[in-house]
Each structure stands twice: as structure tokens, then as C-alpha cells.
Amino acid sequence: MRSGMLDGCKVNGKIYTLPCYTHLANLYVNTALFKKAGAKIPTTYQELFDAGTKLKAAGITPAVIGEKDRWPGMYWFDIMAMRQAGNSACIEAFKNPTKFNSEDFIKAADKLQKLAKAGFFNSSMFSMSYDEMLAAFNAGKAAMLFQANWVNAGIEADDSKTKGNVEVVAFPVFQDGKGKATEFFGGGQDGFYVNNATKNPKEAVGFLTYLSEELGTQGYLAGAGLPCWNTDSLDTSKLSSLDKEDSKLLSTGKSFITWWDNILPAESAETHKNLIAELLASKITPQEFCKQMAQLKATELTF
Amino acid sequence: MNSVFSNKKAICIFVLPTFLLFIVIVFVPIVVSSYYSLLDWNGVGHGTFIGLQNYVEMFTSSRALNAMKNSLLFAAASIFIQLPISLLLALILASGVKGEGFYRSVYFIPVLISTVVVAQLWSKIYNADYGLLNTFLKSVGLGSWAQDWLGQTNTALVASFIPTLWQYVGYHMLLMYAGAKSVSKDILEAAKIDGASGPRIAFSITIPLMKPILKVCLIFSMIGALKVFDLIYVLTGGGPFFTTEVPSTLMYTTIFDTYRYGYGSAISVFIILECLFFTLLINKFFKTE
């Protein structure tokens, strides 16, 4: 089991499941389009903004969001909040949402809205679905995509126009922010659970441990997800380059926060996504956004 | 034959299977939903009884009221735009134009296509980047009119009306066509001999005699508009920013995204009662005529 993978599986210090594989959200950049616009792959917020300006000047859509489904936009805000406030501050806010109404979160919301106002995202984002977003990126219609590694297969498909032209990098760090490049968005895990009323607990646990490791390792090789298990003994030569890059990024990770709509209670998750959509459309100010975020309900998960 | 029909026991036995099916599939779920609408329940375990609180919330929530307003706008568009078009087409076809059978089939084809397919078709037509509509506008020099039809709050609702109306024009046309055709040829001939023009015949003779069919079309059109779900769900999902939300999509979001089975059930009961109310209203309207 890789280090850090069990953190999300413990309640009161007891391990409840052994996860199989996981997913990580990172920034996908179309290197061919970046070269065409003379833009540099960004490592800071300012570089991200400047890359957007250069790409727009070359007539290329800097980034594509399928905001009709609302969660693609959520990914952008969540990572920016994590870069501005740092992962631990975000976790504190999940436990006490009034903390969302604070300077760092307002700054993150403001930065996202600045990107939107500058035309960083496709103008059709509110009628574009998640699938259409992937189709647009894979067809080379936008230079950046912030998504999880499940998009790798589509990018590297034989009929994809962007095959071989995409690199995956950690989301830029904010120089005035508290988040580090070793903090990641994702890392949530699915695992198997055993009912404590079962007749053969030892056998069940033994089997599920085996199943989890097999799924984790073989699934990784098949491109199903990033491994929670140790992969030193595996032959990873047949893996796609994007999967290998993602795996490298995973191994640098020190802190993981999974998708916020899985952490927040259902109704609050919906409100969170709707507020982000309004932020992207400039229908509310960053201050009003954080005021309403402060009214969300606390997470029911234990951190 | 007569002995079967007059034998009450035989009638009961033959009606029983479908009656049971109807009770189980239609009636029982409605009763159970009505019970759930009185609870605060997340779908798992037991719910807490809260009486009519869900209904109070529904009628004071601006989002729910907006959804109801949208469904009423849909109903109005169906009655005042879709039905007149269907009527016009039905009357023209029933008056014996060339290719009557061909046009009848062509107009009916959209009805046969699955609503999800219709929604996908129109969402591609409306696509802001490569859609047929924007491409056409750009090619005739009206490029400034090209916009994100389904993504803008001021155009999304009207844009989502059009596929809904388009799909069922043929259905109502067919019903009305049958009604128009059933008008006795003698009356029509007599009117022609008296020198009545086509439109005059339509308004004074055909339409009044088609009243029962018109009533049926009105009821179906109204109820279909109040209940519309799959077309909106696939086209816009109720967005952007709730501008195309209708009670059925709100109910879906409430139950499956926020796990509020009680409130969602209240919305579903409201939709049922709303449809019942308008059906009775339309029946009454036609009776007093």
C-alpha cells in the first residue's frame, strides 16, 4: 500500500478499507497549441494568466469547461482554493463552513472570476456538457483542461487529434498562496467493506485484500486508475505516457483532498456547484460567493 | 357475443387483469408518493413525519415557483402555438391536397423518434460552436445573431420550447386530421354549393364538429407540457441558472442529487394534482360551450 493512501480510510484510527485505485486531477496542456501561441507551460498563477493572454491572441481558446454539468467548473475553483488557502485550511472549512468567508477563499474566487472575465474559458461553457468538453479538448479546440486521469484514455485514443501532444502537469502554485505543489485534488478512494455480521469475516477480509491489490495493480496497468498499492514490481512499460506522468505526480503527493461534492453534504454540494457557476458567469461577486459558501452545512465525514 | 357482454361476471373477469395492473403500477405509487411527501426522508432508513411542511416549502421557494411558472409557459406555448399549427396542417391535409398520405407520414415521424434523440438532435442544432443554426446564420450574413442559444439565460427557455413543440405537432395533427375527415361529406358539399369558401367552411363547420377531438388534443397537449421532463433534462438539465427548470426536473434534482425524497415526492404529487385540475377545467370549459 502506497504511503498516504490509507489516510482517507481511517475512522477513529481504525482502518476500514483497503482502497484499490484512485484518481487525481491535474492540468492537461496541449503542447502543440502552446508552441503555436508561443506560450509557456504555467507553474504560477501569473504564468497561467499570461499563457491565457498569449493563447487568446493566437485565436486559441485557453481552457475549456463543460459547465452545463457544473462539476467541471467546480474542479477549477476547488484547486484554486486549495492553492490559495492550502489543503489544511480547506479541511478546516469543511468542518466549519463559516471559515469559507475569509480572505484566502475570497482571493481564490476573485482569481477564478478574473480568468473568466478575461475570456480564459470557452464562451459556450454553460451549454457544453462534460462529454462535449472532452471532445473539444481531444479535437485540439482548447489548450488546457483541468480534469482527472480518467480522461487519459480519450486523449491517447488512436483517433484523437491530440495524441502525443498533451502533457499533464501539477496545477500552478500561487505565489501569494499557502498551497504547495505536493498538495493534490483527488486521491479519494473506493474500497470494499465487510459487514460485521458476516459468518466468515477472516475469509472475507482475506479475499477482499487480495481482490483490492489485484484490482489496484492490474487496474493501473489497464489504465483504470492510479494505484493505491505499491507498483515497484510491476512492468509498466505498456502504460501510456500520460498514465506514467500521472503516477509520478501521485508519488510526489503529500496531501490529498477528494472532490468537494463528495465531501460536502448532498444539498450543500449542489449549492457549492451552483455558486461556482454563478461566479464563472460573473453573476455574483467573490465576496458574495464566500458569504453564501459560509452558509453551507459541515461535512459528515471525519477528517 | 351478446351473452358475454351482458354477463357481468364475465366482464369482471376480463377486466380484472388490466385493472390490477393499473392499480399496482399507477394507483399504488401515487398513494405511496403522497405518503412520502409528508416525510422528511433521505431515502435510506426511516423518515420523520413533518405533515404538510414540504408543500409549504414548495409554495414559498422561489426556485419551485419559477419551475411552475416555466411549466405554465410551456403549456401556454403548446396550446397557443403548437395546436393552431397542428390544426392548420390537419385542415389543409383533410381538404384533399396532393400527396396527402405522404405529408401525413412525414409530419408524424418526429413523434416516433425517442425524446432523448430529439433532444440530442436539437442540442447539436443549437450548439454555439458548430451548430446548424449558428452556421446557417453566419452563412446568410446574420452572424451577429449567432449565439449560445442554450447557454444564455435570456434565450434558453424559448430555445427549449421549439423541440418540444416540433416533436408533437404531427401527433396532434393526426388526431385532428381524423376528426376533420369524420365530418360528413354531405354537409361539406351542401356548404360548397351554397358558395362558402374554404376558410369559412373550416371555421363554421369543420372545427365546431371537431370539438371532441379538439378537447382531447387540448388535454394531451396541456398535460404533456406540464409534465415535460426528458427533453429539458437532456437539452439543458434545467439550466442555465434554473431558467429552463420545470417541476419534473426540479423533482429529479431534489431526489437524486440532494436525497430529499420527501420534498421531491411533494413536487410529484403537485404535478399530478395540477394535471388533474387542468383536465377538469378543460372538461368543464367544453361542457358549458
Delimit the domains of chain A by residue range.
1-294
| Per-residue pLDDT at A251 | 86
Report pLDDT for A120. 96
By Cβ distance, the residue of B148, B152, B259 closest to A266 is B259
Query: Residue B2 has what pLDDT?
Result: 65
Query: What is the count of structural domains for chain B?
Result: 1
H or E stretch including B40? strand B39-40
Q: Do B149 and A127 touch (CB under 8 A)?
A: yes
CB B109 within 8 A of CB B168: no
Tell me if A267 and B148 make a contact (CB, 8 A cut-off): no
Containing structural domain, residue B249 = 61-288
pLDDT-derived band at A42 (thresholds 50, 70, 90) equals very high
Return the pLDDT at B96. Answer: 82
pLDDT (tens digit, 9 = 90+) per residue, B173-226? 999 999 999 888 888 888 888 888 888 888 888 888 899 999 999 999 999 999
Average pLDDT over residues B64-71: 96
Cβ-Cβ contacts under 8 Å, A300 against chain B: none
Chain B residue with minimal CA distance to A269? B258
Grid coordinates 361476471 are at which residue? B9
* pTM for this entry: 0.90
Cβ neighbours of B260 in A, within 8 Å: 267
- Count of CB contacts below 8 A, A vs B? 54
B121 located within any domain: yes
B152: nearest CA partner in chain A: A126
For B42-49, what is the mean pLDDT?
88
Cell of A151: 480522461
Count CB neighbours of B168 within 10 A: 23
Amino acid letter, A191: G
Residues of B with CB under 8 A from a CB of A: 123, 126-129, 148-152, 156, 236-237, 239-241, 253, 257-260
Kindly indicate the confidence band of residue B256, based on its pLDDT and cuts at 50, 70 and 90. very high
Residue B34 included in any domain: no
The residue ranking higher by pLDDT, B189 or A167, is A167
Backbone φ and ψ for A10, nearest 5 degrees, come out as: -110, 135
Which one of B241, B242, B263 would you mutate to disrupt binding with A, by most A Cβ within 10 Å of its Cβ? B241
Residue range A34-58: mean pLDDT, rounded: 96
Instruction: List pLDDT tens digits, range B117-164.
Output: 999 999 999 999 899 999 999 999 998 999 999 999 999 999 999 999
What is the C-alpha to C-alpha distance for residues B13 and A206, in angstroms, rounded to an integer? 58
Q: Is residue B3 part of a domain?
A: no
Q: Is B255 domain-assigned?
A: yes
Q: In this structure, are residues B81 and B165 in contact, taking their beta carbons and an 8 Å threshold?
A: yes
Contact A69 B240 (CB under 8 A): no
Q: Do the Cβ atoms of A127 and B236 come within 8 Å? A: yes
Question: Which of B148, B244, B245, B249 is the best residue to mutate to test the A interface, defined by the most A CB atoms within 10 Å of its own CB?
Answer: B148
Judged by CB atoms closer than 8 Å, whether chains meet at B151 and A124 is answered as yes
Whether residue B133 is contained in a domain is answered as yes
Residue B68 maps to a domain:
yes
A16 vs B215, which has greater pLDDT? B215
How sure is the predictor about A56, in pLDDT bands with cuts at 50, 70 and 90?
Answer: very high
The CA distance from A259 to the nearest CA of chain B, in Å, is 15
B270 has pLDDT over 80? yes
CA distance B94 to B178: 8
CATH number at residue B250: 1.10.3720.10
Residue A67 — φ and ψ, nearest 5°? -80, -5
Residue B31 falls inside a structural domain = no
> Given this model, what pLDDT does residue A8 score?
67
| Cβ pair B128:A136 closer than 8 A | no
Cell numbers found for residue A183: 498538495
Q: Is residue B149, in this structure, part of any structural domain at all?
A: yes
Q: Which of A4-18, A147-161, A199-213 has the highest mean pLDDT?
A: A147-161
Amino acid letter, residue A166: V
Residues of chain A contacting B152 with CB distance shorter than 8 Å: 126
Q: ipTM surpassing 0.90, yes or no?
A: no
Integer Cα distance of A296 and A121 in angstroms: 27
Per-residue pLDDT, averaged over A127-156, amounts to 95
Q: Do B236 and A278 touch (CB under 8 A)?
A: no
Residue of A43, A73, A48, A82 whose CA lies nearest to A62: A48
- pLDDT band for position A155 (50/70/90)? very high
CA angle, A65 then A189 then A220, to 5°:
85
What CATH architecture applies to the domain A1-294?
Answer: 3-Layer(aba) Sandwich (3.40)
pLDDT at B170 over 90: yes
